[in-house]
Structure 1
Amino acid sequence: MSESSEWLIYRGAGEPHDGVDRLPDPPPWRDFTSRDAAGSGDGSEDRRLGAHRHLAELHRPGAEELEMINAALYLRRPLLVTGSPGAGKSTLAHSVAYELGLGNVLRWSIVSRSELQDGLYHYDAIARLQDVQIAAQADNGPGSGTPGAVDGIGGYIRLGPLGTALLPSDKPRVLLIDELDKSDIDLPNDLLNVLEEGEFAIPELERVADRLPDRTAEVLTADGVKVPVRDGRVRCRAFPFVVLTSNGERDFPAPLMRRCIHLELGRPDHNRLATFVRAHLGDEAARAGDDLVTRFLERSRSELLATDQLLNAIYLTDAAATPSRDRLADLLIQRLDRPR
């Protein structure tokens, strides 16, 4: 095997081998082994903030950025963060949660089909109907305490990320509503009332509240734990720290903008990118990849690039030790706005 291909694990030769055992550890932001066995953590802190954040603070906000974040905290308003891909919009939510000890970040990733209901809760009516039918066949009538009975209805309801963030608590949860600009035209307007009032109803529970023990049902949260909901309504006590992110691909309605604190993130400079690399890969990798940081910044003046592309290039060219370093880096850092 030639020197230039020694780093290849898959060789395309059509012959089975055990080369996968030579794979190095995964990049820290793609390492899912940090999820603990008890399920109380999801490993997102290391993946988002960096496994080496003790060496370098990943998120170094400027004065304006600090002021807008704190304004959102003081005013209990959502923070709308816009900027180019990889500017650190999503990381901001994790940074605030980590520094203020607010627990795991609840994340709602928006797609074109996302609806308000997806963020609030899901009711599995089909599963409940099936359980009622099974119970009836076993001569277990309504009210017998079976899963299909009224007092078991909470077992078929799971709160979404937004619904979980609005549960009453002494400290606010951090909710990341990621890439809102990917939504259909209605979702930003649909969010207005919930974000303004800090509460929502679950009609399936409201209708049977008077038949529930203490008018309360236990439902599952987005965190996977059961919590009581009384009278079919979820009302926050501490308004969550809500971060709405957008790549700037569309304008939002004025009523939503009026209810948000708006923060525009500029492109990161060399120091911030180097800190970003150091937090995820450590000092040695940051020094070895400094030339790639410089080239990345030069190209980003005229091309749309994302900082996770830079991380991928520095990690792989270091881990693979391939002689075709520059060529491989260019393959990994391809402009995102090029014609397809």
Structure 2
Amino acid sequence: MTWAPFYRGDGIERPVTPPPAPPWRTFPRASQHHQFQPPPGLVEAVNAAVLLRRPLLLRGPAGFGKSTVVEQVAHELALGRVLRWQVTSRSTLKEALYRYDALGRIHAQNLRLAHAPSEADRDDIADFLQLGPLGTALLPTESGRPRALLIDEVDKSDMDLPSDLLDVLERGEFEIPELARHPVREIGVRLWDSTETTAVHNGRISCREFPFIVLTSNDERDFPEAFLRRCIRFTMPRPTVRMLERIISAHLGGTDAASALVGEFVERIEQGERLAIDQLLNAVYVLRETHVPDSAQIRDLLLRDLAND
């Protein structure tokens, strides 16, 4: 495949079919568990977290593969589909455990009163409840193995969220107050990102096997000591030339045309620039093609320091 100017900036319509996408940009998104190359020490950290039933806190710059770790572990240990909770500054513990649409329930009740008064007493609370990613992760599984959960970018949370997580991570259980107060003792509740339901008894969910949890942090803040001591912590190391060559080979099947880019990438990181490994993959993917005009300009475009706009 050669570089082709799909867009030319002349306003002339040309039906164009782009070439196949890079393997890490195909949709639906495919797991990268085969391509991920764990750095030294990570395997031991994962095994410690699995053995001790503790969350694994991965720290390091963005774009170094932290979120891919859980995919590889879930695949190797046959833990099933990875549950994901993308943390923001507005995230709360409650939304991670369960979601309750109180307004939707009231609206449905009003519609029944208006159109079917005889059904006014029917209570459909289950239609307005759904377990969150953490709540689903705490459910028992048919296989008896734990579920896998990614809590991504926990350092972007409100200051109180890590402390709010402590009790649930320590006890492995939680209560849904709306169900605990409900006269029906067993109610089916929908799982996160699924059409499946599970029976919740007396409004309480308790895990049998603590889930394998990976929390990622881009080191944008510190965490309370009480939170840190409940986690197995691992900091992703700075990439070396050998490490990057392994990653490129896993994704693209060869590194011969990438040696200069890899060397430049490592040198710039050593000098304090903020770069992500996926930027390097993008650059290698494009610049290994033939007939790329002004490759220096393309390289600068794809390998811009993340700390500079």
Q: TM-score, normalised by structure 2?
A: 0.91
The counterpart of 1:187, out of the listed 148, 154, 161, is: 161
In the aligned structure 2, how far is the partner of 1:227 from the partner of 1:113? 28
Secondary structure at 1:263 match in 2: strand
Secondary structure at 2:267 match in 1: helix
Counterpart of 1:297, as a letter, is V
The counterpart of 1:160, out of the listed 118, 132, 135, is: 132
In the aligned structure 2, how far is the partner of 1:233 from the partner of 1:197? 12
| Structure 1 residue 175 corresponds to structure 2 residue 149 | yes
In the aligned structure 1, how far is the partner of 2:291 from the partner of 2:216? 36
Secondary structure at 2:198 match in 1: strand
Please state how far the C-alpha of 1:15 moved relative to its aligned partner.
2.7
| Structure 1 residue 299 corresponds to structure 2 residue 299 | no
The 4+ residue runs of structure 1 with deviation greater than 6 A are none
The counterpart of 1:30, out of the listed 12, 25, 32, is: 25
The counterpart of 1:18, out of the listed 15, 19, 25, is: 15
Please state how far the C-alpha of 1:142 moved relative to its aligned partner.
4.8
Counterpart of 2:11, as a letter, is G
Please name the residue that 1:58 is paired with: 36
In the aligned structure 1, how far is the partner of 2:275 from the partner of 2:38? 20
Counterpart of 1:203, as a letter, is P
Please state how far the C-alpha of 1:337 moved relative to its aligned partner.
1.9
In the aligned structure 1, how far is the partner of 2:148 from the partner of 2:126? 25
Please name the residue that 1:71 is paired with: 48
Please name the residue that 2:214 is paired with: 243
The counterpart of 2:233, out of the listed 252, 259, 262, is: 262
In the aligned structure 2, how far is the partner of 1:100 from the partner of 1:293? 32
Give the conservation status (yes or no) of the 8 Å contact 1:24–1:319: no
State how many pairs are aligned: 304
Please state how far the C-alpha of 1:10 moved relative to its aligned partner.
2.0
Q: What whole-Å deviation, never above 9, does each CA across 1:6-38 have from its counterpart, x for those lacking one?
A: 72212222232212x1x1111222211xx4xxx
Please state how far the C-alpha of 1:156 moved relative to its aligned partner.
0.9
In the aligned structure 1, how far is the partner of 2:30 from the partner of 2:119? 43
Counterpart of 1:206, as a letter, is A
Distance change in 2, residues 1:319/1:204 (3 Å): farther
Counterpart of 2:221, as a letter, is R
Please name the residue that 1:311 is paired with: 281
In the aligned structure 2, how far is the partner of 1:304 from the partner of 1:290? 20
| Structure 1 residue 7 corresponds to structure 2 residue 4 | yes
Counterpart of 2:21, as a letter, is P
Secondary structure at 2:243 match in 1: helix
Please state how far the C-alpha of 1:320 moved relative to its aligned partner.
7.4
Give the conservation status (yes or no) of the 8 Å contact 2:39–2:237: no
The counterpart of 2:173, out of the listed 179, 195, 199, is: 199
Comparing both structures, which one devotes a greater share of its residues to helix?
1
The counterpart of 2:188, out of the listed 213, 218, 225, is: 218
Q: What whole-Å deviation, never above 9, does each CA across 1:236-287 have from its counterpart, x for those lacking one?
A: 111001111111121100110111111111112122212212222223xx33
Q: TM-score, normalised by structure 1?
A: 0.84
The counterpart of 1:122, out of the listed 92, 96, 99, is: 99
In the aligned structure 2, how far is the partner of 1:254 from the partner of 1:199? 22
Please name the residue that 2:296 is paired with: 326
Please name the residue that 1:282 is paired with: 253
